Structure 1
């Protein structure tokens, strides 16, 4: 999944920096802004007990499956997961919410999905909801199928990286038929947990050995940029707004994306974390100045900073609200590690 701030290609850098610093190799690892769960899953596979948090529903659902579950549910009433996916991957169609709001043949003539894929998404989403309602599947089985659908839908979406806008010309992947695949669930034999809370409230309630922080770093709010994923996860069928078909996201705005608020909420977060180690990922083009980060972290413990060059996540050109500090496609990722 393309995602703002996705750390998949930085996992080795993060692990090597932690080893260099001497961070403990077991215990409780908390990921405060889980996103795609790539970091959380990496450290689950390394044997940590993992606790995740993210305010977006789709991220929370991915955490419930990829982090909390240690084995695939049995899908007994459907004769196993493979048979469940076979049933859903058959070519059944429904002109429903996704078709009307996200496809060119729908009422609003949007081009996020082909008509065919939109109708397939509608059928599958309604079918798994029906199976849950009729007790054909349980909650965990439902979440596994929902993760599979969200992942498959994102793969055939006609976007450049986010759902801030759809493409006017069809990308080749968007014209492929949607196909659900099983999520990759790994077992670390530990009681991992997932939460959907405000991060600053979360740290006041839970503690761990390591807290990993990867907050939003620029003005781009996650809720409008990934609105379709949230709609598919929540399935509340909101009336959408504007040309792009945005959800109402007032309650999901992050203060970390607001220049006038980011430093204040960051300082509050750091001062209330209960852990031996704090690990912060932040970009050199972020809203919070490096000097403020270092001042805040140095106030609570021993700090070491690591950096690496990284290909930026770019879906837009320079404009009034977004001026890239470097003209090429490379940016600098900072990793701050603190021991209290």
Structure 2
């Protein structure tokens, strides 16, 4: 299970796993890990994987799904902790006041349970190795009863049917094998991370800011109960320049991406990008070629994120405008030893039997 997420590579994950397997990599880097779906797949393929992201909630997801080996977990202990947390009496706290009353992301009955459980995690499991597991379970439970179209920039004017369901925590589906979680800025960390066999880069590619798109998860994990502003009740620090990514700036993003691709220390580099991004494919190919290795490009037709499929909403939750298109093209650019990346591309193209064209 995973939270709804803009730019999630859910559909491409099996392809990326096949690519890693074909590369025979035993160490991997997922430099913009987000929900860690790709990092989890790399772990399943047997590669020790480093999952990197700037978001606090992403670090927690990586601590749960990447650092912890499924074979080392006492599921009985996790189940007991979840049962205890779910038994706590409801509390009207920050989540209820901010995300149920001042806004409408969650039904108040679930907001009160989120408040109680979140307080309970720090009170009863603050120093426990179960903490990231329980925070992950709570995020996923809250995501299952939210009233949005997948982004936390707006909520629906009328309750989504799922918002009326009771919040239910579940044991996360742990990943076999392990890796490590690192929180930080990719443009800075890329200079100090150890060399890996394969690095995967899936950077933000347009104006959508993950810090604001998923501000509730950031607040739920930090539990700093920040001041907020606007109809969407975004964190006040969303206005701080330090929370803005260079990858969301149309002018600054291309050179930042070029430097990141150039400096990542890996035998094979895979870059995911969309035809909706700030950088044209031809430019992205040149950025990748600057590493001095041959380049292969795979193209995949895919659905756009859930908000685009459902419609466009204003901050008050009213549907506005119309959807221009519901599909886009996802590119996976491979760079490395010619024989190795050809082997990777051949395996994927043969296995998927879908329209994936090798352009270079």
TM over 0.5: yes
Query: Counterpart of 2:12 in 1: which secondary structure?
Result: helix
> Is there any run of 5+ residues in structure 1 with no aligned partner, and where?
320-325
Aligned to 1:36: 35
> Is there any run of 5+ residues in structure 2 with no aligned partner, and where?
314-322, 338-360
Check if 1:245 corresponds to 2:238: no
Aligned to 1:197: 184
Q: 1 CA distance for matches of 2:256 and 2:180?
A: 24
Encode CA deviations 1:142-184: one digit per residue, 9 max, x unaligned: 1111111011011111101110101111111111000000111
Deviation at 1:26, TM superposition (A): 3.0
8 Å CA contact retained: 2:17, 2:45? no
Q: 2 CA distance for matches of 1:270 and 1:333?
A: 18
Aligned to 2:251: 260
Aligned to 1:121: 114
Encode CA deviations 1:93-143: one digit per residue, 9 max, x unaligned: 001000110113xxx2x111111000000000001111135xxxx432111
Check if 1:312 corresponds to 2:311: no
Deviation at 1:88, TM superposition (A): 1.8
Aligned to 2:263: 272
Relative to structure 1, is the Cα distance of residues 305 and 17 closer, same or farther in structure 2, using a 3 angstrom cutoff?
A: farther
Aligned to 1:58: 57
Length, aligned pairs only? 318
Query: Counterpart of 1:276 in 2: which secondary structure?
Result: strand
Aligned to 1:323: none
Deviation at 1:318, TM superposition (A): 7.5
Encode CA deviations 1:214-248: one digit per residue, 9 max, x unaligned: 00111110011000010001000101111110011
**2:204 aligned to 207, 216, 237, which one?**
216
8 Å CA contact retained: 2:28, 2:199? yes
8 Å CA contact retained: 2:14, 2:41? no
Q: 1 CA distance for matches of 2:91 and 2:59?
A: 27
Q: 1 CA distance for matches of 2:206 and 2:180?
A: 28
Q: 2 CA distance for matches of 1:116 and 1:164?
A: 22
8 Å CA contact retained: 1:65, 1:140? no
Relative to structure 1, is the Cα distance of residues 199 and 162 closer, same or farther in structure 2, using a 3 angstrom cutoff?
A: same
Q: Normalization by structure 2: what TM-score?
A: 0.84
Q: 2 CA distance for matches of 1:310 and 1:327?
A: 15
Q: Normalization by structure 1: what TM-score?
A: 0.89
8 Å CA contact retained: 2:149, 2:306? no
Query: Counterpart of 1:111 in 2: which secondary structure?
Result: coil
Query: Counterpart of 1:80 in 2: which secondary structure?
Result: helix
Encode CA deviations 1:288-325: one digit per residue, 9 max, x unaligned: 12121111111211100000100011525689xxxxxx
Q: 2 CA distance for matches of 1:126 and 1:18?
A: 40
CA RMSD of aligned residues (A): 1.9
Q: 2 CA distance for matches of 1:97 and 1:228?
A: 11
**1:287 aligned to 278, 285, 296, which one?**
278
Deviation at 1:43, TM superposition (A): 1.0
